[in-house]
Structure 1
Amino acid sequence: MTALTTTARVFRTTAIKLALIYLAALTLASGAVLVYLSQSTATVLRDQIVETVDAEISGLADRYQVAGIRGLVATVDARSRRPGASLYLVTDFAANQLVGNIEELDDRVLAGGSGELQRVVYTPIGGGVQREALVRVFQLTGGFRLLVGRDLQEQQYFRSLLAEAMRFWLFVLAALGLITWVFVSRRVLKRIDAMTATSRRIMSGDLAERLPVEGSGDEFDRLAIGLNTMLTRIESLMQGLKEVSDNIAHDLKTPLTRMRNRLEEALRQDAAGSGGKGDARVVLEQAIEDCDGLIRTFDALLRIARVEAGSSGASFAEFDAGALVQEVAELYAPVVEDAGGVLESVAEEALVLSANRELIVQALINLVENALKYARQDEADAVRVELRALREGHDIVLAVSDDGPGIADADKERVQQRFVRLEESRSAPGSGLGLSLVAAVARLHGGRLELADGSPGLVARLRLPANRGAGEVAGRA
């Protein structure tokens, strides 16, 4: 990459554009302030000069009225010898200098004598360079003229200081602009390029890549942290999609193959003339049963996907979780009794839960059916299932426990994944999606599914945050 290309990229960045705008605005504002100060100061100094000259003229006029020309000359001579910026000059009717501290002055200045304030160039006593001054000239009786003024060297010096300050400030602004250039081109662009390179690697398929975080807590770090969180979520979803695809290809292949073999066998029997309509009906009924199982599996997968994406379509509302547990217990108590077991329920009062009621009911039903299905080791076993609703800290826990064989600690996390079925439960009907749906519902509500030992049996706890708004929990899904 050439230096010209780098320079062009720098000027296209928002940071350098803002920096240049701020620099230009600051320069204009500073220039305006300095010009205003210069003009205001010049006005103040001019007013002070006018006041000083007028005061001295008034004093000298009084002196002239009292002591005449001789007294005026003596007073002007005394004041002319004092160090300072005041100027004095007294001339006779022939423009000859009688007294004063001005060595050379344009004759046209003295010819006026109107008393108007005027800017003149003069040479001080002792020679030297010419200077500028503001003076007033008055004509006295007898042809005498009196000049009183003020040297402008101090004012010009002050202006030169302001001009030097302006030049210094412009130099500082230029240095700030250069520092901004270096900062943007080396630091900001370096981080942007690093993010761009990482983004390209991610787009090429490497979802494990993450944007660099320096730990400074600046806007780039906050942006990188937010995008990394999003990438982690996307990677998790993609990994889940891959696992689902693999599991579908593996677990659904068997029922599809079985269905095909049955239909093929029915066709062979029909072709050989050895089968009857009764045999074909049995085969078709078995095929329909397999189709229903596949449909249920795909419906469960679709519902899990919608729940995990936060788009299940149902709204959130507040309801009493204890009353909900009692309703599910009343609904499933006859089912458990028909299977030779017993279903009990215990619920605390005033357990207000803000959640999706339909999904919570579905999760509890799945847990009860799992307990009823897998807790019995043989047909003669009587199953005891218990439903509980209680508060633990800031959470509401909906628990389903049984007295069956339970699940080994090594398998408690694994059984919450899609299509996972333990070896001892493969003979029972099912697709291995029940606990996956419960776990997805828990995550949607900002909670989690916990599997613990019941000594004996298994305790499945649906732990949900109490009284949490729908928007907040949905945002965490």
Structure 2
Amino acid sequence: MTRLTRFVRTTAFKLSLLYIAVFTVMSGVLVVYVSESTDNLMSEQVVQAVDAELKGLADVYVRGGIRNLVEAIDDRTRHPDASLYLLVDFSGNALVGNIARLPTVVLEEADGGLRRVRYTLLGQGTEDVERQAMVRTFELRGGFRLLVGRDLGDQLRFSNLLANALRLWLVVVVVMAAITWLFVSRRVMKRIDDISASSRMIMNGDLSERLSLTGTNDEFDRLAVNLNDMLDRIELLMQSMKDVTDNIAHDLKTPLTRLQTRIETALRDARGEEGYRGALESTLSETDHLLRIFNALLRIARVESMAPGSVMEPVDLNRIVAEVAELYEPLIEDEGGQIETSVPADLKAVCNRDLISQVLVNLVENTLKYGRPEEGEMRLRLSAAEENGRVVLTVSDNGPGIPEEDHERIVDRFVRLEESRSEPGTGLGLSLVKAVARLHGGDLRFKNEDPGLSVQIDLASVSPESSRSGYGEDYSGKAGEADGDR
């Protein structure tokens, strides 16, 4: 009873019930309309046939009188069809015709009006079978009365046949609607129950559970695909949160432990002003490292919370790349390397200037830390070009590159391929680059060269519409300090 009550309350049941009611009413209206229309059409045909017979007999009567009329009626009754004739004298005696019996009132009211009467046909053993007919009765000179009509047997049989067929159609419609209702309801309920069961498993902690697909690409499949994509994203975020928690515990535990150790050592062993100053300077260095971690996290959170398109404007990429190259050129040349740029003079992209500058700074800093070749001088190249309606910004080097299996993992927060973590950095630089790329509607891609590594992000190119629309809101954050990642 509980399942039945739950089933009756479902939207599928209510919609199916509504469809059955609509189909039944429409079929009923169709039955009535077709029956009435058919009956009216056949009645008109009967009237036309009776009037045609009357006109022919009237012409015979006018030309030859009652004798020719009797002969004409007698001749016509010898060819049996649906037509009816009866000619009686002033006493009511039948002179000629094919009607054996009918109500006397029909002959008494000889006003020419169309009447529906019951009668029995004359001859061939049909006197006991009562029939229906449409007749007209006229009074002639000398007290004669003439009845002309049309038997309705064929019309009634056709009407009954049509009515039975339409009633059968109505029954079939109702049965098929009920079968369809049962099929649809059971199918919809099964899909909904499957979704509910999967949802319960997910709520119980099994984030790997996914909604099943039937492969029909119907609305339930499309809903399931979107929900599965959402669940994939949630599972990824949950795993990322777990990884962040583990990594941040590792990254913060070490400097906090060193900070605590230095303070305890200073309190225990430091003597004089120089000793305390050294302890304070070491403490300040550790706190600076902690602040860099928190500032990097805040920058990533701020970028991820921005609405795409709300901080964008047409920017000259040639100028940005030139500024970053000019900033790092002395450092690279002092170490015997070289930096190159390749950006078309008029290339512009719809982006945030400060964030793109931060991206370039992070990527260059990563290259300086981890992109040095084992032999020879370092070559760093900053380039940009328009491809397939997007502007692709590339930073490439001739260093050792990154293993293919680590391309996805390296952009996660606090992930550093240098397991010893002896190099300075927080492991958040590429996470910020990925967040900026996502904000710009693009993606962060890695490609191993031979030798070296290329890192690319794609941006929206400047179109006439974007140039005219204007971008009023600017990002107030600064490029800040770059963080190492690998």
Corresponding residue of 1:385: 380
Residues 160 and 313 from structure 1, CA distance in 2 versus in 1: closer, same or farther, beyond 3 angstroms? closer
Matches of 1:197 and 1:336 in 2, distance apart?
A: 60
User: Quick check: 1:284 aligned with 2:276?
Assistant: no
Find 1:103's aligned residue among 100, 104, 116: 100
Q: Is the 8 A contact 2:19 2:177 kept in 1?
A: no
Instruction: Tell me by how many angstroms 1:5 deviates.
Output: 3.8
Q: 8 Å contact 2:381–2:397 — kept in the other structure?
A: yes
The corresponding residue for 1:257 is 257
1:117–1:83 Cα change, 3 Å: same
Distance in 2 between the 1:423 and 1:62 partners?
120
Would the aligned equivalents of 1:86 and 1:150 in 2 still touch at CA under 8 Å? yes
Deviations along 1:251-306, one digit per CA (max 9) or x if unpaired, are: 1111111112223334445xxxx633443343333323322221211221233345
Say if 1:95 and 1:419 are closer, same or farther in 2 by CA, change over 3 A: same
Bigger shift: 156-165 or 321-330? 321-330
Task: State the shift of 1:459 in Å.
Answer: 2.8
For residues 210-236 of structure 1, give each alpha carbon's deviation from its aligned partner in whole angstroms, at most 9, with x where no partner exists. 100111122211111111111111111
1:468 Cα offset (Å): 8.7
In structure 2, distance between residues paired with 1:421 and 1:56: 108
Question: Residue deviations 1:341-367, cap 9 Å, x none?
Answer: 654323234444333333222111011
Q: Determine the C-alpha separation between the residues in 2 that align with 1:318 and 1:233.
A: 31
Residue by residue, what CA displacement relative to the aligned partner does 1:108-151 show, whole Å, maximum 9, x if unpaired? 11111111111211111131321111111111222211111111
Offset, 1:89: 0.6
Structure 1 vs Structure 2 CA RMSD: 3.0
1:384–1:70 Cα change, 3 Å: closer
Aligned residue number for residue 119 of structure 2: 122
Greater RCO, CA 8 A, separation 6+: 2
Letter in 2 for 1:330: E
- After TM superposition, the structure 1 stretch with the greater mean CA deviation from structure 2, 139-148 or 324-333, is 324-333
| Among candidates 4, 22, 25, match of residue 22 of structure 2 | 25
Residue matched to 1:321: 317
SS in 2 for 1:115: coil
SS in 1 for 2:148: strand
Cα displacement (A) at 1:393 = 6.0
Equivalent AA in structure 1 for residue 35 of structure 2 = S
- Output aligned runs, 1:163-312, within 5 Å: 163-268=163-268, 275-308=271-304, 311=307
* C-alpha distance 148-468 of structure 1, shift in aligned 2 (>3 A): farther
2:421 corresponding residue in structure 1: 426
8 Å contact kept, 2:110–2:137: yes
Q: Secondary structure at the match of 2:233?
A: helix
Aligned to 1:447: 443
Q: For residues 48 and 404 of structure 2, what CA distance do their matches in structure 1 show?
A: 100
Three-state SS of the structure 1 residue aligned to 2:328 is helix
- Pair 423,111 (structure 1): closer, same or farther in 2 beyond 3 Å: closer
CA displacement, residues 298-353 of structure 1 (integer Å, 9 cap, x when unaligned): 22123334545665896233434333211221233345457776543232344443
Contact 1:323 1:347 in 2 (8 A): no
Alpha carbons of structure 1 residues 284 and 347: separation in structure 2 relative to 1, 3 Å: same
- The more displaced of 90-99 and 441-450 is 441-450
User: Counterparts of 1:410 and 1:160 in 2: how far apart (Å)?
Assistant: 80
What amino acid does structure 2 have at the position aligned with 1:118?
R
Distance 1:254 1:313, change over 3 A: farther
Report the residue type matching 1:157 in the other structure.
R
| Secondary structure, counterpart of 2:212 in structure 1 | coil
CA distance in 1, matches of 2:142, 2:398: 136
Q: AA paired with 1:446?
A: G
CA contact (8 A) 2:386 2:461 kept: no
What's the counterpart of residue 331 of structure 1?
327
Quick one: distance in 1 between partners of 2:462 and 2:192? 38
Moved more, 363-372 or 443-452: 443-452
| CA offsets 1:365-414 (integer angstroms, 9 cap, x no match) | 01112223345699xx9865332334566664433344555555665554
Q: What's the counterpart of residue 72 of structure 2?
A: 75
Q: In the alignment, what sits opposite 1:149?
A: 149
- Equivalent pair of 1:438/1:449 in contact (CA under 8 Å): no
Please, which runs of 5 or more residues in structure 2 have no aligned partner?
467-486
SS, match of residue 90 in structure 1: strand
Instruction: Give 1:433 deviation, angstroms.
Output: 1.7
TM-score, with length taken from structure 1:
0.86
In structure 1, distance between residues paired with 2:226 and 2:82: 70
Give the SS at the match of 2:461.
coil
CA distance in 1, matches of 2:64, 2:453: 122
Contact 1:117-1:136 at 8 Å conserved across structures? yes
| Residue 58 to residue 449, structure 1, CA distance change in 2 (3 Å) | closer
- What secondary structure is seen at the aligned counterpart in 2 of 1:143? coil
| Residue aligning to 1:473 | none
Q: Partner of 1:191: helix, strand, or coil?
A: helix
**CA positional deviation for 1:453:** 4.6
Alpha-carbon shift at residue 202 of structure 1 (Å): 0.9
Asked if structure 2 preserves the Cα contact closer than 8 Å seen for 1:120 and 1:135, the reply is: yes
Amino acid at match of 1:300: A
What per-residue deviation string (whole Å, max 9, x for no partner) do you get for residues 162-194 of structure 1? Answer: 211221111211221232133124322222211
Alignment: residue pair count: 459
Q: Cα gap change, 1:468/1:167 in structure 2, threshold over 3 Å: closer, same or farther?
A: farther
